[in-house]
Structure 1
Amino acid sequence: MSSRIVVFGAGGRAGRRAVAEAVARGHQVTAVVRDPDKYGDLGAGVSVVAGDVTRADSVAEVAAEHDAAISAAGRLDMPSDEFYVSAAHALLDGLARAGVGRLVLIGIGSTLETAPGVAVHDAPGFPEEARAFSLGHTAELDVLRAAETDIDWLVVAPPPVMLDDKAPRTGRYRTGGEQVMADGAPSFSYADLAVALIDEIETPKHHRSLTAVAG
Structure 2
Amino acid sequence: MKLTVFGATGGIGQEIVKQALAAGHKVTAVVRDPARFTVTGRGLEVFAAQVTDAEALRPAVAGRDAVLSGLGARTRKDAGIAATLTRPVLRAMEAEGTRRLLVVSAGPLAPVPWRQPLVDRLILSVINAVLKDVYADLRVMEDDLARSATDWTSVRPPKLLNKPVTGTYRTVIGGNPLSGRTIARADVAHAMLKMIDDPATVGQGVGVAY
Question: CA separation of 1:137/1:26 partners in 2, compared to 1, >3 Å: closer, same or farther?
Answer: same
What SS does structure 2 have at the residue aligned with 1:100? coil
Whether the 8 Å CA contact 1:6–1:70 is kept in 2: the answer is yes
Aligned-pair distance for 1:75? 4.7
Runs of 4+ in structure 1 off by over 6 angstroms are none
Tell me, which stretches of 5 or more residues in structure 2 are unaligned? Answer: 115-120
Give the Cα–Cα distance (whole angstroms) in 1 for the partners of residues 73 and 46 of structure 2.
19
TM-score, normalised by the number of residues in structure 2: 0.84
Number of positions where the alignment pairs a residue of Structure 1 with one of Structure 2? 202
Larger helix fraction of residues: 2
Whether the 8 Å CA contact 1:121–1:134 is kept in 2: the answer is no
Question: What is the alpha-carbon root mean square deviation over aligned residues?
Answer: 2.5
Give the alignment partner of residue 171 of structure 1, picking from 167, 174, 184.
Answer: 167
Aligned-pair distance for 1:12? 0.4
Aligned-pair distance for 1:10? 0.3
Show the counterpart of 1:206: 201
Show the counterpart of 2:177: 181
Whether the 8 Å CA contact 2:11–2:185 is kept in 1: the answer is yes
Give the Cα–Cα distance (whole angstroms) in 2 for the partners of residues 108 and 34 of structure 1.
24
Give the Cα–Cα distance (whole angstroms) in 1 for the partners of residues 137 and 62 of structure 2.
27
Show the counterpart of 1:84: 82
Give the Cα–Cα distance (whole angstroms) in 2 for the partners of residues 43 and 50 of structure 1.
15
Aligned-pair distance for 1:204? 4.0
Partner amino acid for 2:154?
V
Give the alignment partner of residue 102 of structure 1, picking from 93, 100, 117.
Answer: 100
Question: CA separation of 1:109/1:129 partners in 2, compared to 1, >3 Å: closer, same or farther?
Answer: same
Aligned-pair distance for 1:128? 4.9
Show the counterpart of 1:60: 58
Question: Does 2:18 correspond to 1:20?
Answer: yes
Whether the 8 Å CA contact 1:51–1:62 is kept in 2: the answer is no
Give the Cα–Cα distance (whole angstroms) in 2 for the partners of residues 115 and 128 of structure 1.
19
TM-score, normalised by the number of residues in structure 1: 0.82
Whether the 8 Å CA contact 2:54–2:89 is kept in 1: the answer is yes
Give the Cα–Cα distance (whole angstroms) in 2 for the partners of residues 13 and 98 of structure 1.
28
What SS does structure 2 have at the residue aligned with 1:85? helix
Give the Cα–Cα distance (whole angstroms) in 2 for the partners of residues 79 and 170 of structure 1.
29
